[in-house]
Amino acid sequence: MTMKNLYFSNIRRMSRSLIYLAGLAIALVVTFFFTAGKIRIADMILRMTAAERMCFVSIAIIVFYTVYIPLLICNEYGDGVMRNRLIAGYSQKQIFFSGLLAQLSSVLLMWLVHLIGGFAAGAAPLAGDWGHMFIMLAAMAGYISLVYTLSFRLVKPVRSVIFCYLLLNLCVNGFLIGNFAVMTAADTAARPIVAIIYNINVVGQWAVSLGIVDPEAGPGVLPQLLISLCIILLSAGCGSMGLNKRDMA
């Protein structure tokens, strides 16, 4: 039994998921109207370029996955999908990693649909804008890896949703607290460390990419990408730890 077969099985299940398909449709429609300025929004956002508005609304993708992934994992446990895979000969680690890769593939697809909506609305990203958009994609991949790991290990539906919701709230509140920390650490030796900590948060990277926070909060493109990669790897490592000794009841 190879993980490749399991990965494509997850992709097929995802392609039949009404929630995910609805998410793709919402990403397309909302991005189009938001980027085109057809939705009632604050004057500050209306003064942004179309490409910046497209990047601004991309943060909604993490809100969708905060709800979607816990529901998906819990349904797979409840419907016996996980148990059937174990009976078929797949290991728990194969199930975990194939599911994680499928979710990372799904966010890439949703991001591409989001771009299509933005381009259709007239967004014309400059070279710098493309860099910010790829940074945001990597940051979202890191966040989704954390949500998937929490949902996979917690199993229980209510518990998974609560913890993933708390993670989202932690990101939002961490962004607010981080802004204060960045201003406090400006022009001090602690600034680079504070900037790195600030960008561990997906909302922090989003704000830095948009340029709506103090420029001191940005550690640079390469550090941001490395931070996101580290989050993905740590999530995968912690999520798979001790799986072979765990009973998937």
* Cα angle, residue 41 at apex, residues 37 and 45 outer, rounded to 5°: 75
Supply the pLDDT for residue 51: 86
Say yes or no to pLDDT of 247 above 60: no
Range 59-71 average pLDDT:
93
- Burial class, 243, CB count within 10 angstroms (exposed 0-12 / middle 13-18 / buried 19+): middle
Average pLDDT for residues 147-165, to the nearest whole number? 86
> pLDDT tens for residues 74-86?
888 878 888 888 8
List pLDDT tens digits, range 89-121: 888 888 899 999 999 999 999 999 999 999 999
Please say whether the beta carbons of 32 and 57 come within 8 A: no
Q: What is the pLDDT of residue 245?
A: 54
Report the sign of the C-alpha dihedral through residues 220, 214, 184, 234, in that order.
Answer: negative
Neighbours of 187 (CB within 10 A): 6
Domain ranges of the chain: 3-244
C-alpha torsion sign, points 191, 197, 202, 204: negative
Would you say residue 24 has pLDDT above 90? Answer: yes
Cα–Cα distance list, 86 to 73, 83, 119 (Å): 15, 5, 43
Confidence (pTM): 0.90
